[in-house]
A and B are shown apart, each in its own frame.
Chain A
Amino acid sequence: MTQASLGQSVVQKEIQSQNNGVAANVTHTQPLWLLAEVTYRCPLHCAFCYNPTDYDKHTQNELTTEQWIQALRDARRLGALQLGISGGEPLLRDDIEDIVIEAKKLGYYSNLITSGVGLTEKRIQAFKDGGLDHIQLSMHDITEEINNFITNTKTFELKKKVAAMIKNHGYPMVLNVVIHRYNIGHMRQILEMAEALGADYIELANTQYYGWSLVNRSQLMPTKEQIDEAERITNEFREKQGSKMKVFFVVPDYFSDRPKKCMNGWGEVFMIVTANGDVLPCHSARVLPNIEFPNVKDKGLDWVWNDSPAFNKYRGDSWMKEPCRSCAEKEKDLAGCRCQAFMLTGDAEGADPVCSLSPNHHVITQAIEDSRNPVIASQPIIFRNDKNSKAIIAGELHDRVKDFHALP
């Protein structure tokens, strides 16, 4: 018996649909995953944050509690099941308790994605009572120095306390560690720390270069050798440890020959509602040209998902150009990430330059070279904070973004 005889993981989703009794190969898209980026405000200032660098424009026009609840209801009717409550730091809003209660009522499997800042005994108890299913905590390193440096805050001790709190309340502990040059050498210690904290899952997420992390790419990118070693240590840990902690190692796309199947396809399973109500098929879609993204204040999510030009723009493969269009592997990666293609090459319909078959692949090899260039790599990190966001909006940090075809 195979996995297929039991069921189907939705990340490999292609549904056989019945059409008047005749089997038809139709891809039925449903927004199974709803990510609610409830605020862009954040007490941390992480150098690798994927949020838009101009987020400061969106901190004053956040959706109300009622608008969030309406969005949750509409998405659930469309089939959404997994709910991520993220940000910024979602706990900066005082209505997360209300959102959690509504999510439970609607039958979502809900997940709070947090830095832990602002999580108190009182709030976690309210989340538990309200029916929140799990909490994903970001951790940064085993050392106080690196944690505090990369987040630009003194949050090391707090994170350990929050991890214990999550465990004490009977939650599965899901840790997310973004991997970059400054912590990649500590992989074994990070895994041991996670195990000591009683983590059930740990995601070792190699930095993907969007938003602030793109601006800081040369400062954050590890070498290929470091990544190989990190993966080797991770595999070794998986094999010998025998504990029940599940370890996910997210491979960094800059170092692979083929691009990732970004978001499992445009408008296939993911829908993101951002702080101000814009609805996106992926985290950074706002960088793309000639697309107007719908907003929940104007249109219902049913229209957004099924009928909006934005969500239909890169569905299927008729928009693809060569070399993707005739590529035997096109179904595997759907030409990669539209945002990365546009940001790095100026062509939103082109192949993701990560692909070695892309005529623009040199921008990736150049980026890797730059990150090894001591002069470039020693430029200061631009931390994610309001002051820097305002400066980027005002064009003051032009030198650091001039190579990209849109503001990261």
Chain B
Amino acid sequence: MSIQHTDIYAIALHHRFQWEEAQNCYVILFPEGMVKLNGGAGEVLNLVDGKRTVADIITELKAKFPDAPDLDQDIIGMLELAIEKAWLRQIN
């Protein structure tokens, strides 16, 4: 499966993404489970809103973390994993 820069994703149905103060991280919640997201993954998924394209997400994160090397690849990698886990659905 290859992710295109024009793709738009949203959080999958029946899944919820939210910030958790008590855990100090983003989490993804779904029937019978939950995952605490690492900082980077949380930042990426926080921008997955059904409106931004993958290119938009990369641009925004590059602006936010100008010193991070290989950001494009990391973001695509995280999105691929999130799709494989069925946390995301493509809407275009």
Chain A: residues with CB nearer than 8 A to chain B?
A: 1, 3, 5-11, 13, 30, 32, 77-79, 81-82, 107, 109, 111, 133-134, 136, 171-172, 174, 200-201, 203, 244, 248
Partner of A7, one of B14, B37, B86: B37
CB distance from A134 to the nearest CB of B (A): 5
Interface residues on B, range: 20 to 34
Q: What DSSP secondary structure best describes chain B's contact surface?
A: mixed
Please name 19 further chain A to chain B contacts, defined as beta carbons within 8 Å, in addition to the given A5-B81, A13-B36, A79-B23, sorted by A numbering: A5-B41, A5-B78, A6-B38, A6-B82, A6-B85, A7-B36, A8-B35, A8-B36, A9-B34, A10-B35, A79-B22, A81-B20, A82-B34, A107-B18, A109-B34, A111-B31, A133-B31, A134-B14, A203-B32
Residues of A near B86 (CB, < 8 A) are: 244
Whole-angstrom distance between the alpha carbons of A8 and B81 in the complex?
13
Closest to B21 in A: A79
Beta-carbon contact of A109 and B29 below 8 Å: yes
Instruction: Judge whether B71 is part of the interface by a CB distance below 8 angstroms.
Output: no
Those of B16-54 within 8 Å (CB) of chain A:
16, 18, 20, 22-23, 25, 27-38, 40-42
Whole-angstrom distance between the alpha carbons of A344 and B78 in the complex?
47
Beta-carbon contact of B14 and A82 below 8 Å: no
Whole-angstrom distance between the alpha carbons of A5 and B37 in the complex?
9
Closest to A4 in B: B38
Whole-angstrom distance between the alpha carbons of A175 and B33 in the complex?
15
Q: What DSSP secondary structure best describes chain A's contact surface?
A: mixed
Whole-angstrom distance between the alpha carbons of A8 and B42 in the complex?
12
Residues of A near B1 (CB, < 8 A) are: none
Residues of B near A78 (CB, < 8 A) are: 22
Whole-angstrom distance between the alpha carbons of A174 and B33 in the complex?
12
Those of B68-92 within 8 Å (CB) of chain A:
77-78, 80-82, 85-86
Whole-angstrom distance between the alpha carbons of A136 and B30 in the complex?
12
Beta-carbon contact of B41 and A7 below 8 Å: yes
Known: A81-B27, A109-B29. A10 touches B34 (CB 8 A): yes
CB distance from A327 to the nearest CB of B (A): 29
Bitwise, B53-76 to A at CB < 8 A (1) or not (0) is 000000000000000000000000
Beta-carbon contact of B38 and A10 below 8 Å: no
